[in-house]
Amino acid sequence: MAESMRTRALKVSFGKNEAVRGVDMDIEPRSVTAIIGPSGCGKTTFLRALNRMHDHTPAARVSGSVFLGEEDIYANGINPVELRTRVGMVFQRPNPFPTMSIRGNITFAPKRHGLARGRELDELVERVLRQAALWDEVKDRLDHSATSLSGGQQQRLCIARALAVRPGVLLMDEPASALDPTATQKIEELIYELKKEYTIVIVTHNMQQAARVSDYTAFFYIGDLVEFGETDAVFTNPREEQTEAYITGRFG
């Protein structure tokens, strides 16, 4: 299930502005890789290159390669729509579908992909809601609107929804930045559980969060991958001066 990812000379530019400038990174399966760096350093742009979300931005140009397992996801013949069932994404702001129920949010994509039907759908809903640690809170109101949930619950619903299409990799773009501390803690505990089965890449502004949840940390600065290694090493003994300056709060 959980797959590895590799990027080679990955560049993303918007017109003349090169937001990611040639990044080589190896992402280990069943681990959490955190991407940190100051605003505008290209971390979100990098993350969105991993499931080809830039395909929907006409001005964006991507070059280099991204491998999912052994497959180059930018090669001819790779369908970005199909790819995204293997590389899921959770966004900064919770974005459940307001017209659908809690259950409907989860079953929407699996139904379209023919992954489950009838009773299987009920089992799927329960399974992913349990994985997202939301089942006990919503099991009696699955037919209520997704917008009736709190912000933190909505974000966990979005995680459950992403898990329902059975991706091997889950990309998370500052998933807790719009949430309060309690909800943030729940998301972090959830990430810790999910890495047993999934490969997780998380972009975060919060360095304590990176230190708490991740196994590997990548520090980006102005589109370059400055430092990448095991989280303990990056935080306690950074090789690069820029990394040290950033994590000790001298800039950012």
Partner 1 sequence: MTGVGMPLRLRARLFRDAVLVALCVVALACAVVPLVWVLWDVVAVGVANLSLEFLTSLPAPPTIGGGGWANAIVGSVVVVGLAAAIGIPVGVGTGIYMSEYGANPLGRSARFLSEVMAGLPSIVAGVVAYGVIVVTMGQFSALSGGIALSLLFIPIVAITTQEALQMIPKDQREASFALGVSEAPTTLRVILPAAMGNVLTGVMIATARVVGETAPLLFTVFNSRYWMEGLDRPTATIPVNIYSYAISPFEHWHEQAWTGAFVLVTMVLTLNVAARTLWARRARFMAGR
Interface residues with partner 1 (CB under 8 A) are: 51, 53, 56, 58, 81-85, 88-89, 91, 93, 95-99, 108-109, 112-113, 144-149, 158, 161-162, 165
Least distance (Å) from partner 1 to the CB of residue 75? 18
Least distance (Å) from partner 1 to the CB of residue 69? 17
Closest to partner 1 by CB, 162 or 247: 162
Closest to partner 1 by CB, 70 or 82: 82
Closest to partner 1 by CB, 30 or 93: 93
Least distance (Å) from partner 1 to the CB of residue 110? 9
Least distance (Å) from partner 1 to the CB of residue 43? 17
Closest to partner 1 by CB, 59 or 251: 59
Closest to partner 1 by CB, 107 or 204: 107
* Alpha helix positions (H), the chain: 43-49, 80-86, 102-113, 119-131, 135-138, 151-163, 181-194, 207-213, 231-236, 241-247
Classify the C-alpha dihedral 191-44-55-9 as positive or negative. Answer: negative
How many residues are listed for the chain in this entry?
252
Query: Chain-centre distance of CA 7, in angstroms?
Result: 16
Least distance (Å) from partner 1 to the CB of residue 45? 14
Q: Are 34 and 247 in contact (CB under 8 A)?
A: no
Distance CA 89, CA 43 (A): 14
Least distance (Å) from partner 1 to the CB of residue 168? 13
Q: Are 63 and 232 in contact (CB under 8 A)?
A: no
Residue 98: what residue type?
Answer: P
Choose among 57, 53, 37: nearest CA to 210: 37
Closest to partner 1 by CB, 1 or 9: 1
